[in-house]
Amino acid sequence: MAVTPSSLNVEIPASAPARRHPKIDLRVVDPVRAAIRDGSVIGVRRTTLSGNDAVAKGALEVGARFFAGYPITPSSEILEYVAKHIFRCGGTYLQMEDEISSIAAAIGAALGGVKSFTATSGPGFSLKQENLGYACLTECPLVVVNVQRGGPSTGGPTDVGQSDVMQARWGTHGDHPVVVVAPYSVQECYEETIRAFNLSERYRIPVIVLTDAKISQMKEPVTLPAQDAIPIVNRAKPIGTQQGYEPFGLSPTGIPPLAGMGEGYRAHFTGLYHGRDGLPTRDPKMIEEQMLRIHAKLETPTATAEIRKTETYFIDDADVIVVAYGITARAAKDAVVQARREGLRAGLLRPVTLWPSDAEVLPEVLGRVRKVVVPELNLGQYITEIQRLAYESARRNQIVPPEIVPLNRVDMQLISPAQILQELRS
Amino acid sequence: MAHQQIKFYQTGTFTVGNRLLDQQLRTVQATADRSNSLDSGHRACQGCGEALGARFAIDAAMRATDNQLIATNATGCLEVFTTPSPESAWRIPWIHSLFGNAASVATGVAAAMRVKGRSEVRVIAQGGDGGTTDIGFGCLSGMFERNDDVLYICYDNQAYMNTGVQRSSATPGAARTATTQPIGDQPGADFGQGKNVPLIAMAHDIPYVATASVHDLHDLEAKIIKAMALHGSRYVQIFVPCPLGWGAHPQDTIKIARMAVECGLYPLFEAEHGEITNATKIRSRVDVTEYLKIQRRFAHVFKNPDQLAKIQAIADANIQRFELLSTVGNGQ
């Protein structure tokens, strides 16, 4: 799903006189806001939230009714928001004794039939990895929020980082499918959390929401849809006879329906390789079938269209682009606007879904630009994926790949628009 | 033991109390050659019980080991306020491990000293109640089970204060935190079965377990010194009021600590090899309401007689169990 520049409607006069502080209208023309103004929708809410509160609010509004967590800076506000509000929705909040039991309890509740999530930051995310693998193999719908901070180890608890990008993809051992989304604003924290729950329910997969210390703590005005206008996906349940129900069976969509425990269907889950019935197996054919199936379920055309999401910004005629995600994309957007003012044909690609990477939009754009700048608050993680896609695209189309330039910061400071602009100019 | 010979009027105020004592009975802190291992200038809040408890505990341990001490420290308030960027208040070898692994890292350090033939160098591990009773509990229990030569000190302020006062398994029932129900029939932390880590430590049959409180620093020092005289796993849990997290006045830290003990909610005792050898008698019993009313975290219980009764029942049960009143049980 691509966000086209037309929906962002940035006005840049073609012959703007050079001013020291050029006025640039970065306002996003939001159809919802427009509709509120002309009175054609009711129930839309406008408020101010922090990133952490937006994540928690989104989760509760999309139907999450179980949360298990453990205090860790800078994600503790999610815990506190949920503790305060989930009981009003009839849900349960538990503060567990550590990070491992937090995700384990969320897995238990999710397999028990309740939408569940947990939230943490870097060190806690490391502790959760084994359980994350279990959730992948048992195809457990689950949302894990990781508010990134400086790492490794305790690192900078109150400082910003983007160094969990690779861990979110490959943190647990073994081949496993996973979906990772990276919001870049408070508004998107809310929206992407809702989308994360919907993807996890639809595809029976853990989805990781990767925010960071800055987005999580800052407050922004947000426009939330009316309660009954929130898109809600619930997991497919088996219908018909209980005899012969296969929780890991083959189905036309590739996603077997999931019966909650205690709903009359046989429930048998294990982290061992298992067959279609959920019982352990050592049959090579069955192991291969299941391993390939859990990966293939994200590769169908419907899944690809729903999961992948990249914002393109001034991309159509760009010859030098920035690929940025999360907090860094905010600076990148500013840099692109400034570069356009200077007459550079600059653009921005912002992967909202980081993993699986957008194999449609990214290679297409990377195949027709001269230079790519990849700013990240780490020592170069997502750039490796950009390189892979760019080189593969170049090889396939027999063209020269673009120059791919990293722009990294690990001093717990944000990358500034000026830094990105400098890279765009050179 | 020295601390038993001190009359109450001598400890009533700590400074005066020391002056009235014989030179050899004075605390480590009262002597000019104290090590100041946890030095001044750190960033603890005003009235921090943990800063006080840690300072006395570490200096007493230094005295007992002839200044041959290494400390590990779990993530928590103590770690944060003693090491503000770019400084450190520690004058001893000190490892900030992780949140949950201070006991295991200390085990490793002690093993290294043994391998190097430096068994005179002793190791202490420290953590708050979150790092001890919750996330570090597995490592702690393993350390007890192996009887590694480490003294583990738990500074119990009854919640995760460093991250913003979230409940821990050491949070008492009815106490208000950032992650407990603010309203409803039973606001505040749930009355669970409790997680009494000193008793769990005793169940491991380790050489020494004790609870102490910052209102009786003679007793605190004596217990640390006694613990350092022994080998094997030892556990000392120190009651350290947190003015910020408990909604109390900084000047009331000592008062709160004293009242917690005197009302029976926080029994002070020593145990050796799983058997209680000494429990500090309540000198002048106070009502639990006296203890609760000077802390805002308990403000709501006065509108909830049910919760108040439960808290009183816990105090009564402690008094019964540890024979804290001389008139109860065998008495003295």
Nearest residue on chain B to A94, alpha-carbon basis: B179
Q: What is the DSSP string of A9-25?
A: --B--TTPPP-SS---B
- Rounded Cα distance, A417 and B29, in Å: 55
Check which CATH number belongs to the domain holding B71 and give it. Answer: 3.40.50.970
Cross-strand pairs, A92: A66
Q: In this structure, which amino acid lies at residue A373? A: V
Q: What is the DSSP string of A293-328?
A: HHHHTTTSHHHHHHH--EEEES-TT-SEEEE--THH
Residue A241 vs residues A246, A264, B18, B322: alpha-carbon distances, Å? 11, 10, 81, 60
pLDDT, tens digit, for every residue of A97-145? 999 999 999 999 999 999 999 999 999 999 999 999 999 999 999 999 9
Contacts of B96 in chain A (CB under 8 A): 154
Exposed e or buried b for every residue in A145-180, given b needs 16+ CB within 10 A? Answer: bbbbbbbeebbbbebbbbbbbbbbbebbeeebbbbb
Helices (H) and strands (E) in chain A, counts: 15, 16
- Rounded Cα distance, A275 and B240, in Å: 54
Tokens of A262: 């205690």
- Tell me which CATH code domain A26-229 carries: 3.40.50.970
**Are residues A123 and B169, on separate chains, in Cβ contact within 8 Å?**
no
**Are residues B99 and A87, on separate chains, in Cβ contact within 8 Å?**
no
B201 is a domain residue? yes
Nearest to A270 by CA among A133, A170, A176: A133
Per-residue pLDDT, A9 = 47
Per-residue pLDDT, B302 = 93
Q: What does the pLDDT profile of chain B (332 residues) look like in tens digits?
A: 444 455 555 454 555 566 677 777 778 887 778 899 999 999 999 999 999 999 999 999 999 999 999 999 999 999 999 998 889 999 999 999 999 999 999 999 999 999 999 999 999 999 999 999 999 999 999 999 999 999 999 999 999 999 999 999 999 999 999 998 887 888 888 888 779 999 999 999 999 999 999 998 889 999 999 999 999 999 999 999 999 999 999 999 999 999 999 999 999 999 999 999 999 999 889 999 999 999 999 999 999 999 999 999 999 999 999 999 875 444 44
Cross-strand pairs, B238: B155, B212
Give the H/E segment covering residue B298: none
B231 is a domain residue? yes
Per-residue pLDDT, A7 = 40
Domain count within chain B: 1
Q: What is the DSSP string of A327-367?
A: HHHHHHHHHHHHHHHTT--EEEEEESEEES--TTHHHHHHT
Per-residue pLDDT, B5 = 54
Task: State the nearest Cα–Cα gap between A315 and chain B, in angstroms.
Answer: 43
Average pLDDT over residues A158-179: 95
Q: What is the DSSP string of A131-188?
A: HHHHHHHTT--EEEEEEEEE-STT-EEEEE--TTHHHHHH-SSSS---EEE---SHHH
Residues 140-159 of A with CB under 8 A from B: 153-154
* Contacts with A18 (C-beta within 8 Å, 6 or more apart), sequence order: none
Nearest to A374 by CA among A165, A210, A156: A165
Per-residue pLDDT, B7 = 57
**Are residues A83 and B99, on separate chains, in Cβ contact within 8 Å?**
no
- Rounded Cα distance, B239 and B216, in Å: 10
Instruction: Count CB neighbours of B147 within 10 A.
Output: 15
Q: Is B72 left (phi over 0), alpha (psi -120 to 50) or beta?
A: beta
Per-residue pLDDT, B326 = 73
B147 is a domain residue? yes
Q: Which fold has domain A310-425?
A: Rossmann fold (3.40.50)
Per-residue pLDDT, B309 = 94
Q: Give the closest of B96, B133, B179 to A80, CB-based.
A: B179
B271 versus A5: which is more confidently predicted?
B271
Per-residue pLDDT band at A36 (split at 50, 70, 90): low
User: Mean pLDDT over all residues of chain A?
Assistant: 90
Contacts of A95 in chain B (CB under 8 A): 166-167, 179
Residue B40 vs residues A80, B253, B332: alpha-carbon distances, Å? 34, 19, 42
Contacts of A84 in chain B (CB under 8 A): 182
Task: State the nearest Cα–Cα gap between B62 and chain A, in angstroms.
Answer: 28
* Contacts with A382 (C-beta within 8 Å, 6 or more apart), sequence order: A165, A323, A325, A351, A354, A374, A376
Cross-strand pairs, A45: A224
Q: Is A374 helix (H, G, I), strand (E, B) or coil?
A: strand
**Are residues B166 and A76, on separate chains, in Cβ contact within 8 Å?**
yes
- Rounded Cα distance, A33 and A41, in Å: 9
pLDDT, tens digit, for every residue of A395-406? 999 999 999 999
**Are residues A98 and B135, on separate chains, in Cβ contact within 8 Å?**
yes
- Rounded Cα distance, B104 and B148, in Å: 9
Give the H/E segment covering residue B125: strand B122-128
**Are residues A71 and B180, on separate chains, in Cβ contact within 8 Å?**
no
Q: Is A237 helix (H, G, I), strand (E, B) or coil?
A: coil
- Rounded Cα distance, A206 and A103, in Å: 11
**Common-topology check for domains A26-229 and A310-425:** yes
B259 is a domain residue? yes
Find the domain containing B77 and state its range: 35-322
- Rounded Cα distance, A424 and A410, in Å: 21
Structural domain boundaries in chain A = 26-229, 310-425
B27 is a domain residue? no
Residue B127 vs residues A95, A361, B74, B314: alpha-carbon distances, Å? 19, 50, 5, 25
Nearest to A420 by CA among A343, A354, A348: A348
> Counting beta carbons within 10 angstroms of the beta carbon of residue A33, is it exposed (0 to 12), middle (13 to 18) or buried (19 or more)?
middle
- Rounded Cα distance, A390 and A413, in Å: 28
